[in-house]
Structure 1
Amino acid sequence: MSTEPQTFEILLVPEHVVEGSADDAVRSAVVAPTGQNGASGYPRYSGDGMVADIDPVTRTVEALLVDGSELDYGLKPVLHPRT
């Protein structure tokens, strides 16, 4: 049985925020695996208007589209596993 989460919550927070919690987020989305790999080579997750390539080992967002566009300057994604 895999211990990797099947879904993640992505919080978009201002870059100056150190930890990034739900209180800091300007937007959030719960994303689930699509079964495909993205252009980065990592598994692709999507949901709530966000499409992300996520490295499941390091739990790092390697690529992110928000409503079909690249992430705005001044924002960064913070990833939280969901069970």
Structure 2
Amino acid sequence: MSTEPQSFEILLVPEHIENLRGESAADRALRVATVEATGETGASGYPRYRGQGVEADIDPSTRTVEALLVDGAELDYGLVAMIAPERGHGKH
């Protein structure tokens, strides 16, 4: 049985707001997708997750998106993919 998370919420946010203090990335996301584990390993060597038009290789130990396709294409310049904070651990 795998101990890796079975799903993640991926936020696509404009790159320029990634490091703003006091801003919630979730509030600024242009797109949000919940991806589920596929049981496959991506080309990056990390587990593959898929859902809502998004396919991602995610390092579950660091919660980092290592590879990403959105609607079958690479992410547009100026956008950043990040994993949403776990519920109950962020600001309300």
TM-score of the superposed pair, with normalisation by structure 2: 0.80
Q: Which residue of 2 aligns with 1:27?
A: 31
Task: Give 3-state SS (helix, strand or coil) of 1:69's partner.
Answer: coil
Q: What number of residue pairs does the alignment pair up? A: 83
Q: 1:82 to 1:46 in 2, by over 3 A?
A: farther
**What aligned pairs does 1:36-75 form with structure 2 within 5 A after superposition?**
36-75=40-79
Instruction: Work out which of the two has the higher radius of gyration on C-alpha atoms and give 1 or 2.
Output: 2
Task: Give 3-state SS (helix, strand or coil) of 1:22's partner.
Answer: helix
Deviations 1:2-56 (A, max 9, x none): 7643210000000011265221001110001000000001000000000000001
- Between Structure 1 and Structure 2, the one with more strand by share is 1
Q: Which residue of 2 aligns with 1:79?
A: 83
Contact residue 7 and residue 82 of structure 1 kept, 8 A: no
Q: Distance in 2 between matches of 1:38 and 1:47?
A: 15
- Between Structure 1 and Structure 2, the one with more helix by share is 2
Q: Which residue of 2 aligns with 1:13?
A: 13
Measured on the aligned residues, the alpha-carbon RMSD in Å equals: 2.1
Unaligned runs of 5+ in 2: 88-92
TM-score of the superposed pair, with normalisation by structure 1: 0.88
Percent of pairs identical after alignment?
67
